[in-house]
Amino acid sequence: MSYLKSLPAETALLQVFRAYPEPARHLLAFHEALLRGDSPFTAGEREMIAAYVSGLNDCDYCHGIHTVTAEAFGVPEGVLKAALTDLDAAPVDDRLKPVLSYVGKLTRTPSRMTAADADAVFAAGWDDRALHDAVLVCALFNFMNRMVDGLGIQADAAYATTSGERLAEGGYAGLASLLAG
């Protein structure tokens, strides 16, 4: 239920973006650059990081949408749930596990990050750009989770499916084009 009195109780994030288009345009442009631009990570891996961080934060809205999006980009169904339950035992690519571990620690206990945490990412074969991109996706979704939860934005599984598929097909630039509607 939205806490914004100027919007209906059943408001989704798109309606918030329409109500406040100027910051939304910049935010969606950042999403597009970070999640669909050049990166050592595939779009599916970046969406997986977004969904993982959102799951750690218990942000059902973002977790649901970005799980659907990650799966649309080839992340097998159930992998995110398994990763959130037990990352070490989850059927996640061995190169990606240290990245998820890193963003997990950054989400839960950011002041405890160490060079050893970054070294584990590098030891898995990732470079500086990958660490940079993982940290930015993590930071963006910690921000988005606070925004969604702080504004009281919720959605059911059907909305998560529709929105996740829309993001997979049109990206964040496509979502930005819906602001005028």
Per-residue pLDDT of the chain (181 residues; tens, 9 = 90+): 899 999 999 999 999 999 999 999 999 999 999 999 999 999 999 999 999 999 999 999 999 999 999 999 999 999 999 999 999 999 999 999 999 999 999 999 999 999 999 999 999 999 999 999 999 999 999 999 999 999 999 999 999 999 999 999 999 999 988 887 6
Supply the pLDDT for residue 1: 85
Q: Is 9 exposed, middle or buried (0-12, 13-18, 19+ CB in 10 A)?
A: exposed
**Predicted local confidence at residue 179, as pLDDT:** 81
Residue 112, sorted as left (phi over 0), alpha (psi -120 to 50) or beta, turns out to be alpha
CB atoms within 10 A of CB 1: 9
**Contact (CB, 8 A) for 107 and 18:** no
Task: Find all residues with CB under 8 Å of 75, minimum gap 6, and list them.
Answer: 44, 45, 47, 48
Domains in the chain: ranges and CATH: 21-174 (1.20.1290.10)
Task: State pTM to two decimals.
Answer: 0.96
Q: From CA 30, how far away is CA 25, in angstroms rounded? A: 9
